[in-house]
Amino acid sequence: MPANIKQHYVPRSILKSFAFNGKRVYFLRKTEFDMPIRSENVESICKENGYYRFDIEREDNSIRRIDYDLEVFQQIDNDIAPVIRKIIEDGTITNLEIEEKKTLVRYTVYQYLRVPPIRNIANSILSDEEEAKKAHAEALINPEFVFSSLEDILRNLKLDTIKPIVGDEFLISDAAVLLDPTGEGIYFPISPDICLVYYHPNYGIANSIDSICINELQFLAATQFVIAKSELVLDKIKKSQHKKHIQNVLRNSENNSYWKCILDKKSFEKCFLEQNRNNILDPLKEEYDKMLIYFMGSDEQPK
């Protein structure tokens, strides 16, 4: 492969669903001053030079170059494209075959794990960019890490779709899958008109938050790119035009305590620890306990 290959962390098959002419999308970058809204070809966004590449030095001092996206993502990205297309065309997940649902669950897990916000967690722990990159790769390549925890979570949740409220549409970011540790709602927008939602049987689909809140969460979770089919949707997010609507949700909703906490601009750690342990999904309880012990024994407090 060429040395300057750019690798997508949100695949083009997903980005194309948000294109306004089949090729281009509107986007803003949170890292840019004043966050100007521009349009770009889907080939040119949510990608980075050698993002899934690292070099390993052999015993003979030669270098082995690994592009692990080929090993991990190439097949699943090919497999998911017709499944996503089928959901969009049908407007529902009810026509999916069992194997297609399994593919969707597997893909959702990989899409959650493959993106910069997860890499950034490794960076914050290891404080070395190359080591964090290798740790991220090992987590994605190791099937036991992926399938023994997050995939089990999704398989035990109900799956459905939700539509945007009238006059609105979904956007997507470089943190496309929004993971809720309580299972009240795990959200993955796949088009301007459809968002996948995984939720615990204790909750109902009516408990889901609306498109305005999901879009705000996409914006808050993003490290750089926030993408939409409509320039107007991005402009409203940029200018916080839904502030009153979100405040009403925070004030009036009895459920969605985790997402309400995030919408209140608190950190992941604080919102995670504010949840009742009994409400945390079983595979995540150990992580909850570790984090609680860490902050109890530290002068640092979650913000």
Average pLDDT, the chain: 86
- pLDDT tens track for 111-157: 998 888 888 877 777 777 878 877 887 777 776 655 567 888 898 89
Range scoring the smallest mean pLDDT among 44-53, 89-98, 221-230: 44-53
- pLDDT tens track for 154-185: 988 999 999 999 999 999 999 999 999 998 89
Counting every residue, how long is the chain? 303
Query: Which pLDDT score, from 0 to 100, does residue 1 have?
Result: 44
- pLDDT tens track for 17-45: 999 988 899 999 999 999 999 999 999 99
Q: Which residue has the higher pLDDT, 235 or 205?
A: 235
Query: Does pLDDT of 242 surpass 50?
Result: yes
Query: Which pLDDT score, from 0 to 100, does residue 252 have?
Result: 78
Place of tokens 């090729």: 23
- pLDDT tens track for 41-56: 999 999 888 888 777 6
Helices (H), strands (E): how many in the chain? 14, 11
Determine the Cα–Cα distance for residues 259 and 206; give it in Å rounded to an integer: 15
Query: Which pLDDT score, from 0 to 100, does residue 145 have?
Result: 59
Determine the Cα–Cα distance for residues 276 and 27; give it in Å rounded to an integer: 37
Determine the Cα–Cα distance for residues 284 and 303; give it in Å rounded to an integer: 21
Give the start-to-end residue ranges of the domains of the chain.
Answer: 6-265
Buried b (16+ CB within 10 A) or exposed e, 198-231: bbbeebeeebbbbbbbbbbbbbbbbbbbbbbbbb
Share of the chain above pLDDT 90, in %: 45
**pTM beyond 0.85, yes or no:** yes
Q: Which residue has the higher pLDDT, 14 or 137?
A: 14
* Residue 53 · residue 67 · CB < 8 Å: yes
State how far Cα 170 lies from the chain centre.
14
Query: Does pLDDT of 205 surpass 60?
Result: yes
